[in-house]
Amino acid sequence: MGFDRRAFIQLITGGTVGILFTPVVWKLLDDVSIWTQNWPWIPTLKYGEKTDRPTVSKICNSGCAVNVRTVAGKAFGTEGNPENPLSRGGICPMCSNGVQLMRSPNRIKTPMVKGADGSHKAVSWDEAMDALTGKLQAAGSSVGFISGDLTGTANEVYSAFVKGAGSDDFFKLPGSNQAASRAWNGLMGGNGQIGYDLPNADLALLVGADAFESWGPTVWNQKAFSDARPMGEKPSCKYVFAGPSQQNTASVCDEWIPLAPEGEAAFMLGVAHSLLQTGMTADASDFNAFKTMVMKDFNPSKVEAAIKVPAASMASAAKQLRAASRPVVIPSGNSVAAHAAAFALNMLLGNLNRKGGMTTVAEFPLVVEGAMTPAETYEKDVVSWFAKGANPDVLITADCNPVYSLPVEVKAGFMVAIATEMNETAAAADLILPAAHPYERFDDLQTPYGVSSAVYTASVPVTDPAFDSMAPADIVLKLADAAGSGLGVESFSEVLMAKAEMIGAEWDDYFGVPSFETEAVAEQNGPSLAARTLAKAAAPVRGTGAVALAPYTMLTVGTDRQATTPNAPCVVSRNQIIGDTMVVMMNSATARKIGVGEGSKVKMAGGTGSAEALVHIYEGVLPGVVAAPFGFGHTVGDEFSKGKGDNVYKILTVTSEAATGASVWNGSTVNVTKL
Amino acid sequence: MQTKEFKIKWGMVIDIDKCTGCGACMVGCQVENNIAPMTKKDPYNYLQSITKDRDDASNKLRTLTWMTVYELSNGEKFPNHEVAYLPRPCMQCGNPACVPVCPVIATDKNEEGGIVSQIYPRCIGCRYCMAACPYHARYFNWWDPLWPEGMDKVLSPDASVRPRGVVEKCNFCHTRFMNAKEEARLNGEDPEKLAEDAYIPACAEICPSGAIVFGDLNNPDHKVHQLAKSPYSFRLLEKLGLDPQVYYMSKREWVRMQGDNHAAKAKH
């Protein structure tokens, strides 16, 4: 039988009719469309009992008192702790992403040692601790320690351990905390930790202090600000911001005095000049020397010539401070001189330990034998230590990222990183030890710098550890034990319980110490106005570059210790980053002068490095200044931070402040070239 | 145009003079509502070598930010420049522009409380509502939600996860509303008369500077009732007649001017 034309037509027609009636084709088409559109995985939600458990979250520098929300025993969210005075229900954008960070794929899951080829390989805890103990024994007293914790009792454990090894080299990261301590407890001979009674002030002069976004206890500050501005009613406090650019804090302040970072101390002494002229005095032994010095060197026209702030602005600030009944001046940055000038100004205003003024908060007593006091630790300047060529045999870093954030090279014979997440320091370290996340460990938070009364919060682990990690303080206790310089305690939880008992706070096994507050004030023994030092240290020193650099910190972008958190990049605007390139801001006059415009790609060279950025024209920046965000430019980390923008810490110009010797970079400048 | 009236009208008054633009509300919102971080790589995409990467968070046309903080500028040169921040949730309009354009009734305003709903399984992703919304409050899932490995273990039990291809938006943390009503019932209270602090969306709760006040605009016991009538209060684009349930406040005239209400009748 042949295959003729008729058979062919019959086959085609029959086939077509058959296909039309069979469901197989349509079913297949349907399946293809479903399966290509299907989710590759289905997210499942956990259901069960929901609880709120109080804990401390030390992801931001100041630390937040938070409630971790759990469902069926698993943490899923973080909220402020309404019962705690530091939070009163508020939380910073960094800590509100705490649970997501805890589950980040960037977490360090196991101890690791660096091999000969430079890559890290996993080892057991025992092997890691044995290796480190051996290194420590060989190092003797050549041991350094950098702690990223500014508020914890863990620092007592660390410093006692370092002391036990016969070394003094225990450091905290530089910042306003350090400058304040060096100015008050060092230069001026005061006692206690400085706080600013923002909740009761009626005029706050914030000198460079971005108090509502990154400086000091931001949430506590913001709560005070919120109370002082009842909606629709008369505000009870006026805020004046003196700084180089209008960032978040300046946006809500009543007045902005444009001021370059290096001019802060001179500006405040210029204000002091006006106050002294009206006959104001301070109860200090060197008041006369201070007055003579200010009257001679800091008359407003002289200061105007040096820092380009109109004399009238200083006179107006002085007038407002005088007229206010509870004024307070808040400094910032690394300059010890600026802090001393602010404290002198506060003393001149007579607000020391007065309602709404500058307070000297009594520090909680030390509980670990042989530990350094906070003031002692702040006297140690990690930047100048490395700048002078320090190269300890063993350097331990805990909860910090000095390789990324210090504007000097970090050198050590054997570097140990105790960290929760992979970062530049861990990548450079010879040994990496996985630290427990704040929600997985015992920890505490003693009065963050800036808070006006003594507040203690301690926490217990609120969720199961995600990985085989250990609290940094427990690691150090074990090391001390192995080294034979045991600190007399088994675990960090014991230390915290002892601390709670010592200060009279009640310890609860389920809640720790959710909140404990005292009004204890440190007694003063005739603090001085640091007249002699200020005479030499307050003059502004600017680098030689074409444009001054005004770096700023936003918690959504990152800090010196913590890169941006998983949900934060959506929050970061196009004024900070576009694509993978950082954005810097300058006003139109500056841009014209250096020949750039909106969107120009530029290279900024300063210090020992350079950074690439796109220009955004923003009129809220002082002429001759470029405002750049800290926190970008990570070379190690998760996909949200790695390769995003450039690292502004590496283009800072570090100098030693005259008379105080502090490492400062407030006079940093950069040369900007168009690419 | 007729505005649908409800006995309860949940609303916000946002004080722009108090908002520092810190972004805590935006992060809090994403955590509460299971909005996935923007990841470039898709481990389930087996054709990665021939497809391009997903968008990352710097592409603001693709991010899902139910709550967004906008920057406002008074447009002056240095030193007279001023800046302000404006958080923008869904306005839950009394007369929403998005509802009548939806061909499948995936969005509606018919529940006591006046919250504009969004029913994800019903949404066909046509995005008419996005085109209609003058506040850009609606977002389209361009990509499947993906959490970095392990992070899916910390999803909130209070919000279902939406697939690629549907539109989503702020719903004033509606689960919190339902939970508050349920708790009221359990306590023998009237769920139609919730106290002011019984139901607060995540953004208002988290805001450290207290810039967002939330409550029932119709209830004289709630702060928002009075605040919405303040001479400093205004709504965005009121002239369009959409009757938003979100009010803003500022003592700065240039900020109020940017609410663009020059044609609006002063009726609040």
Give me chain A's average pLDDT, please.
Answer: 94
Q: How far apart are alpha carbons A84 and A405 in whole angstroms?
A: 31
Residue A310 lies in a domain: yes
Residue tagged 């080829």 (tokens)? A117
* Shortest alpha-carbon distance between residue B120 and chain A (Å): 15
- The identity of residue A322, as a single letter, is R
3-state DSSP call for residue A198? helix
**Distances from the Cα of A258 to the Cα of A300, A442, A588, A594, A620, angstroms:** 15, 44, 15, 20, 9
Of A533, A534, A577, A578, nearest to A554 by C-alpha is A577
Residue range A499-520: mean pLDDT, rounded: 93
User: Are A160 and A92 in a shared domain?
Assistant: no
Please report the DSSP string for A477-492 in residue order.
HHHHHHTT---S-S-H
Residue A229 lies in a domain: yes
Mutate to test the interface with A, among B31, B214, B229 (most CBs of A within 10 A): B31
Q: pLDDT per residue over A106-163, tens digit each?
A: 999 999 999 999 899 999 999 999 999 999 999 999 999 999 999 999 999 999 999 9
Beta bridge partners of A518: A454
Domain-ending residue, one of A466, A486, A518: A518
Cβ of B31 within 8 Å of Cβ of A47? The answer is no
- Model confidence at A293: pLDDT above 70: yes
Neighboring chain A residues of B154 at a CB cutoff of 8 Å:
74-77, 99-100, 102-103
Closest chain B CA to residue A574 = B58
Cβ of A99 within 8 Å of Cβ of B83? The answer is no
Contacts of B146 (CB under 8 A, 6+ apart): B36, B39, B42, B43, B44, B54
- Model confidence at A235: pLDDT above 60: yes
Question: What is the count of residue pairs from A and B with beta carbons less than 8 Å apart?
Answer: 237
More confident residue, A269 or A74: A269
What's the domain count of chain A?
5
Which segments of A233-334 are extended strands (E)? 238-243, 255-258, 327-330
Q: pLDDT per residue over A211-226, tens digit each?
A: 999 999 999 999 999 9
Q: Give the pLDDT confidence score for residue A33 in this predicted structure.
A: 82
- CA end-to-end distance (rounded Å), chain A: 80
Mutate to test the interface with B, among A59, A71, A91, A96 (most CBs of B within 10 A): A96
Q: Give the pLDDT confidence score for residue B2 in this predicted structure.
A: 66
Q: How far apart are alpha carbons B250 and A270 in whole angstroms?
A: 34
User: Are A260 and A298 in a shared domain?
Assistant: yes
Neighboring chain A residues of B148 at a CB cutoff of 8 Å:
104-105, 566, 638-639
Neighboring chain B residues of A107 at a CB cutoff of 8 Å:
150
Q: Give the pLDDT confidence score for residue B52 in this predicted structure.
A: 85
Closest chain A CA to residue B46 = A40
Mutate to test the interface with B, among A59, A567, A586 (most CBs of B within 10 A): A567
Beta bridge partners of A550: A627
Whether the CB-CB separation of A436 and A475 falls below 8 Å is answered with no
Residue A235 lies in a domain: yes
Interface contact B63, partner A, CB < 8 A: yes
Q: Give the pLDDT confidence score for residue B267 in this predicted structure.
A: 46
Q: pLDDT per residue over B41-88, tens digit each?
A: 888 777 777 888 888 898 999 999 999 999 999 999 999 999 999 999
Sign for the CA dihedral angle at A214, A218, A223, A228 comes to negative
Q: How far apart are alpha carbons A29 and B248 in whole angstroms?
A: 52
Q: Give the pLDDT confidence score for residue B45 in this predicted structure.
A: 77
Q: Give the pLDDT confidence score for residue B153 in this predicted structure.
A: 85
Q: Give the pLDDT confidence score for residue B268 in this predicted structure.
A: 44
CATH number, domain containing residue A281 = 3.40.228.10
Q: How far apart are alpha carbons A418 and A401 in whole angstroms?
A: 10
User: Are A118 and A221 in a shared domain?
Assistant: no
Residue range A477-491: mean pLDDT, rounded: 86
Q: Which of A46, A231, A466 is facing B157, going by the closest CB pair? A: A46
- The identity of residue B228, as a single letter, is A
Q: Give the pLDDT confidence score for residue B5 in this predicted structure.
A: 83
Domain-ending residue, one of A460, A487, A518: A518
User: Are A430 and A506 in a shared domain?
Assistant: yes
User: Are A345 and A309 in a shared domain?
Assistant: yes
B210: its two tokens: 């207290």
User: Are A261 and A341 in a shared domain?
Assistant: yes
* Shortest alpha-carbon distance between residue B251 and chain A (Å): 9
**Distances from the Cα of A500 to the Cα of A70, A458, A635, angstroms:** 26, 8, 40
Q: Which of A103, A555, A571 is facing B154, going by the closest CB pair? A: A103
User: Are A490 and A596 in a shared domain?
Assistant: no
Residue A535 lies in a domain: no
User: Are A557 and A583 in a shared domain?
Assistant: yes
Whether the CB-CB separation of A176 and A216 falls below 8 Å is answered with yes
Interface contact B173, partner A, CB < 8 A: no
- The identity of residue B182, as a single letter, is E
Residue range A323-328: mean pLDDT, rounded: 97
Confidence of residue A292 (pLDDT cuts 50, 70, 90): very high
Q: Helices (H) and strands (E) in chain A — how many of each?
A: 21, 28
* Shortest alpha-carbon distance between residue B2 and chain A (Å): 30
Q: Which of B39, B76, B147 is facing A619, going by the closest CB pair? A: B76
Q: pLDDT per residue over B121-174, tens digit each?
A: 999 999 999 999 999 999 999 988 889 888 888 899 989 999 889 999 999 999
Cβ of B211 within 8 Å of Cβ of A226? The answer is yes
Residue A250 lies in a domain: yes
User: Are A345 and A247 in a shared domain?
Assistant: yes
Neighboring chain A residues of B45 at a CB cutoff of 8 Å:
40
Interface contact B168, partner A, CB < 8 A: no
Q: Classify strands A625-629 and A547-552 as parallel, antiparallel or unpaired.
A: parallel
Cβ of B154 within 8 Å of Cβ of A568? The answer is no
Q: Which of A41, A248, A256 is facing B21, going by the closest CB pair? A: A248
Neighboring chain B residues of A89 at a CB cutoff of 8 Å:
205
Cβ of A219 within 8 Å of Cβ of B40? The answer is no
Cβ of B206 within 8 Å of Cβ of A96? The answer is yes
3-state DSSP call for residue A424? helix
User: Are A565 and A590 in a shared domain?
Assistant: yes
Of A431, A602, A566, nearest to B36 by C-alpha is A566
Q: Give the pLDDT confidence score for residue B51 in this predicted structure.
A: 82
Contacts of A410 (CB under 8 A, 6+ apart): A386, A395, A402, A403, A425, A428
Please report the DSSP string for A315-366 in residue order.
HHHHHHHHH-SSEEEE--SS-HHHHHHHHHHHHHTT-BTSTTSEEEEPPPPP
Domain of A27, in residue numbers = 5-36
- Model confidence at B262: pLDDT above 80: no
Q: Give the pLDDT confidence score for residue B1 in this predicted structure.
A: 54
User: Are A473 and A499 in a shared domain?
Assistant: yes
More confident residue, B177 or B5: B177
Burial of A29 (0-12, 13-18, 19+ CB in 10 A): exposed
Q: pLDDT per residue over B99-112, tens digit each?
A: 999 999 999 999 99
Interface contact B151, partner A, CB < 8 A: yes
Residue A455 lies in a domain: yes
Closest chain B CA to residue A244 = B79
In this prediction the ipTM stands at 0.93
Q: Give the pLDDT confidence score for residue A483 in this predicted structure.
A: 82
> Percent of chain B beyond pLDDT 70?
97
Residue tagged 């800590």 (tokens)? A95
Neighboring chain A residues of B232 at a CB cutoff of 8 Å:
232
CATH number, domain containing residue A97 = 2.20.25.90
Residue tagged 């926190």 (tokens)? A631
- Model confidence at A41: pLDDT above 80: no
CATH number, domain containing residue A435 = 3.40.50.740
Give me chain B's average pLDDT, please.
Answer: 92
Cβ of A76 within 8 Å of Cβ of B155? The answer is yes
Mutate to test the interface with A, among B22, B45, B147 (most CBs of A within 10 A): B22
Q: Give the pLDDT confidence score for residue B266 in this predicted structure.
A: 47
Cβ of A105 within 8 Å of Cβ of B150? The answer is yes
SS3 for chain B, per residue?
CCCCCCCCEEEEEEECCCCCCCCHHHHHHHHHCCCCCCCCCCCCCCCCCCCCCCCCCCCCCCCCCCCEEEEEECCCCCCCCCEEEEEECCCCCCCCCHHHHCCCCCCCCCCCECCCCCCHHHCCCCCHHHHHCCCCCEEECCCCCCCCCCHHHHCCCCCCCCCCCCEEECCCCHHHHHHHHHHHHHCCCCCCCCCCCCCCCHHHHHCCCCCEEEEECCCCCCHHHHHCCCCCEECCCHHHCCCCCEEEECCCHHHHHCCCCCCCCCCC
User: Are A473 and A424 in a shared domain?
Assistant: yes
Closest chain A CA to residue B155 = A76
3-state DSSP call for residue A579? coil
Residue A533 lies in a domain: no
Count of C-beta atoms within a 10 Å radius of residue A34: 9
Residue A531 lies in a domain: no
Interface contact B13, partner A, CB < 8 A: yes
Count of C-beta atoms within a 10 Å radius of residue A72: 12
Cβ of B77 within 8 Å of Cβ of A588? The answer is yes
Residue range A544-567: mean pLDDT, rounded: 95
Q: Which of B15, B28, B81 is facing A246, going by the closest CB pair? A: B81
Q: Which of B39, B205, B209 is facing A79, going by the closest CB pair? A: B205
